[in-house]
Amino acid sequence: MVSQRRYRLKQHYKFEQKDRKYVADLETGDILEVNAVEWEILSRYESQTWYQIVEGLKQEYKVSAIFDGIERLEHLGRQGSLLSPVIRSVGEAATDWEETERYPKVLVPFDFAQEKLALDHVANLKRYQLLTHLTKYAELETLTLSKEGPEADMDLGEISVRHIEVMDDNTFSPAWYAGADYTGILLLSQFFLSDMFFYQVPDVPIVHCIEGFHGLQGRMLETLLTLNAFQNEKDTLVVKSSWMKAWLGELGIPGENVCVIPDGINVVSEPFGDKALAKRHTAAIFDNPMFVKQPVIGLISGFEPNRGAAWISEFARSNRHLAIFVYDAMLARHAEHLPENVVAFSVDNEKSRSILPLFFQALDLVCFPAVPGTPLSVVSEAMAYGAACVVMTKYGMPAEVAGAGVVIESEWDNLGNFRVPMRQLSETINGLLAPCSARAAFEDTAKGVTQRLTWEKTAEEIARLFKAGPRRKKSLSRTTKSLFPSIFCRRYDPGTGTIDTCAYRHRTGTYEHLETALAEVLSEHHTSAEVDSVFKHFQWAGSAPTSDTIDAGNKFPSRGGQETNLANMEHWQKGGTPNEC
């Protein structure tokens, strides 16, 4: 795969004089002195990608010198010398990817496996189920880096393993090797900032899947804001439910690059007899006769753990005539003093996973809050045996369960506070428990979930995003950027629940004041006087960077920015030793 070039090399003439190297820009008449590395880069610039240039030169020159050479040449290009920007217009023809390759070749970094303990068993299992089914629609490959060579016992089935030998010098992070012949990158990590490096790989579309596990809470919000800042038009954020996308819209994350692709569901093809038998088995397992004597409500919880326990207790006290089966991966591990009519359950292993369908078959109704932590896949599996649903939401009836239940208007915020009119909720549940034609219609629709949500459809949709990625990136106008740009983003403070605007500095791996980064960006295409006039016009609070500072090598002072360490950022960019966390 040849990377889409951001600059065109202008007509030029290279010559040497008195052991010095020069390049003449034949279009502008400029004559510039270059060093040996820049001389070699110019020879390769038009025909090779960054990855190919660095790999070809790193045996002869220091990696940091190669990156510095690329950065200087493109800086000259932004000033109009040697290189000119390539700006592709909307509607530019793109090569039909499907005519050149049968399957997309997708890189899957396996760092997500380190998050295993932070997620529940179901979330971990579904990530591997996705990869297993995706091998039917894409060629998957992962990377290993080590000095000892590839592990002999490493078997990932249909996923191939590319081993990178680690040397004491000139070794990059995995993101660097993503520039070699991949159609796209599939990221499954939920909070590893090291995966942000992949977003700087030129012209390789990224599909990043977010689980929405409620145990992450504030960390999930912080991750999503960071992802939004790093995303380009070629990248896609995949969420598992429509209410997750609606929530992102509230945060100001545009929906153009957000795609809803639900997980497939696992439904036992041969149910455990009828509902009455399933209730008797459930009563025996929990040693609680209420599952036979009382209507059984399944509450699929996505609540923030502490506030969720309080809400469930209030719900149970308001509906003592109901047997309430709560599926909550966090609450079930630490629940104490539950109301008498409540049992809490979670899946921790394959044994508990295998018995979950029995409990779902015993349900008369499914109730759930449409909040980011609620797993749609578990909701769908609970409904698949013919249980209508009651949805507590502020976004309207979710498309995934449309026609299978009713909506109760609710409110919630990013701090986990959830409010729903309890009396209305109880009356709605009691009304649906009574035999009626509406409930029968809801139950028939619920049974159709099995056909709508399959792993084959999920994998096919993911593969389609990679096929569409190359065409989409070529059909959008794209302006040039610095090799190590500042990323304008927002940071979430879980302590206060506030979101602040700032900028992330790639080269130093730190967050800095918004004004400082804005001054640098403006200086790339405007004169110092123009930049000064912008800041004077808007009358920024405090002292804005001056044109003198901008001219002095773009070394802006940090203004109270908080440092963060994205592992291996300098290692990837300049070949140096990564900072310790």
Q: Render pLDDT for 222-279 as a digit per residue (tens, 0 to 9).
A: 778 888 888 888 899 999 999 999 999 988 888 888 999 999 998 766 566 688 999 9
End-to-end CA distance of the chain: 35
C-beta separation of 401 from 391 below 8 A = yes
Quick: pLDDT tens for 205-218.
999 999 877 666 66
Q: Residue 427, SS3?
A: helix
Note the helical H segments in 10-59.
36-44, 50-57
Three-state SS for 189-250 is: CCCCHHHHHHHHCCCCCEEEECCCCCCCCHHHHHHHHHHHHHCCCCCEEEECCHHHHHHHHH
The confidence band for 367, taking pLDDT boundaries of 50, 70 and 90, is very high
Quick: pLDDT tens for 112-146.
888 888 888 888 899 999 999 999 999 999 888 77
Start and end residues for every CATH 3.90.930 domain found in the chain = 7-85
C-beta separation of 299 from 209 below 8 A = no
C-beta separation of 131 from 145 below 8 A = no
80 CB-contact burial (10 Å; exposed 0-12 / middle 13-18 / buried 19+): middle
The confidence band for 93, taking pLDDT boundaries of 50, 70 and 90, is very low
Phi (first) and psi of residue 281, to 5 degrees: -60, -45
Q: Residue 324, SS3?
A: strand
Q: How many CB atoms within 10 Å of residue 211?
A: 28
Start and end residues for every CATH 3.40.50.2000 domain found in the chain = 275-453
Residue 557 CA: distances (Å) to CA of 353, 522, 538: 55, 16, 21
Task: Give the pTM.
Answer: 0.73
**Candidate ranges 160-174, 263-277, 403-417, 547-561; pick with highest mean pLDDT:** 403-417
Instruction: Give the chain's count of helices (H) and strands (E).
Output: 22, 23
Residue 338 CA: distances (Å) to CA of 301, 344, 416, 497: 15, 8, 20, 29
| Per-residue model confidence (pLDDT) at position 555 | 31
d(CA 324, CA 300): 10
Under CATH, what is the fold of the domain 275-453? Rossmann fold (3.40.50)
Residue 11 CA: distances (Å) to CA of 30, 39, 78, 470, 517: 11, 15, 16, 29, 33
Phi (first) and psi of residue 359, to 5 degrees: -65, -40
Under CATH, what is the fold of the domain 7-85? Outer Surface Protein A; domain 3 (3.90.930)
CA 461 to chain CA centroid, Å, is 16
CATH architecture assignment, domain 97-264:
3-Layer(aba) Sandwich (3.40)
